[in-house]
Amino acid sequence: MKKVLILGSTGSIGESTLNIIRQFPEKFKVTGLVAGKNSRKLKEQIDEFKPEAVATLDTSFKPVVKTYYQEEGILQLIKEIEFDIVVAAISGAAGIVPTYEAAKKAKRVALANKESLVCAGMFIKKVAKEIIPVDSEHSAVFQALLAGKKEEVKEIILTASGGPFRGKKKEDLQNITPENALNHPNWNMGSKVTIDSATLMNKGLEVIEAMWLFDIPVKKIKVVIHPQSIVHSMVRFKDNSFIAQMGKPDMRIPIAYALSYPERLNLNEELSMDYTQINLTFEKPDTETFKCLNLAYKSIEKGYPYPIILNAADEIAVDSFLKREIPFLSIPEIVEKTMEILNLQPPETIEDVIRIDKIARETAKKLVENHAN
């Protein structure tokens, strides 16, 4: 029986994780839940899974279970409860410090918060005993790498669906609304990840995450557009063998693997697919129209703290787009200008990461305000 703490329990990853745990009550026990402000959903989770304690950003929420509040309360809960596995699924930079603190204590980090490694990979890798990726692409690479030795890897190929605007050019994207961008063809994800998928920033962040997860130079990490989202990623070895992991585009599959590794759970047939109907195609990404992918590579080329700046500026730009303060095509512009303006020293502590993140956000917010004016 493994004890599980879920950071971000009311989000899409958190709910999918609980869906898996619900099916295997003899294998997993939820000891802690951390949520934002969705108190109705959190109460339902408490009633069903009966954790030892919960943490929430909603200070008016008063359940019968022991409850901690706000960011300080999340860290207090991590210190005080027992857990073997932490599912790190708080969205965005807000998940960095909780993931870092939980990684010190957990036997395993089931990592869904890519921003933790993008911004603080050098610190989290030092304290984590084991990291198993939850992102479908990184889970695929993790599994494919089992087919060979690390020194035999020629390249990692991350697949991207291309999002809702695959094949479009800049002139086609002038009047894109948040509703258009949130209409992902294959995946059901949170709004931030879905917009990042539409701009290809999600894939850029995944390139940086892969660099930390697999300890591989960024020049060996490639991206290919694969609209069917069946091949979740591939590894090419030095003998030019390609090992690919395939499956239905459903996050419950990589979540289950991250919870149960090295074993595999016997999942429902609904997660299977009819392989006789599969048609696979691959395309080069259009980085002229979708500049965010190149901006991510550029941030690594420039070195830290630029990946932190990239991520912070993107979070502000995406939020501003969702609030209809800037157009869709201004998202990469805000990110690029923030990276050009700031000249900061590399972080030496996790506190430095948070400080740089804050400065980058403030800079990006000013650029958004100037754009609106």
257-283 confidence digits (pLDDT tens): 999 999 999 999 999 999 999 999 999
Encoded amino acid at 305, one letter: P
113 is in an annotated binding site: yes
202 is in an annotated binding site: yes
97-123 confidence digits (pLDDT tens): 999 999 999 999 999 999 999 999 999
pLDDT number for residue 113? 94
99 is in an annotated binding site: no
370 is in an annotated binding site: no
37 is in an annotated binding site: yes
How long a stretch of residues is the chain? 373
pLDDT number for residue 190? 78
pLDDT number for residue 371? 87
Phi and psi at residue 289, in whole multiples of 5°?
Answer: -80, -40
Q: Give whole-number Cα distances, 195 to 165, 177, 182, 274, 365, in Å.
A: 11, 11, 6, 29, 18
190 is in an annotated binding site: yes
- In this prediction, residues 317-345 reach a mean pLDDT of 97
91 is in an annotated binding site: no
313-327 confidence digits (pLDDT tens): 999 999 999 999 999
- Contact assessment for residue 341 and residue 333, using Cβ atoms and an 8 Å cutoff: no
pLDDT number for residue 2? 98
- In this prediction, residues 50-73 reach a mean pLDDT of 97
16 is in an annotated binding site: no
32 is in an annotated binding site: no
pLDDT number for residue 143? 98
226-247 confidence digits (pLDDT tens): 999 999 999 999 999 999 999 9
311 is in an annotated binding site: no
12 is in an annotated binding site: yes
Does 3.40.50.720 match the CATH number of domain 2-133? Answer: yes
pLDDT number for residue 233? 98
Show me where the domains of the chain are located. 2-133
User: Pick from 133, 91, 43, 84: which is nearest to 318 by CA?
Assistant: 91
161 is in an annotated binding site: yes
92 is in an annotated binding site: no
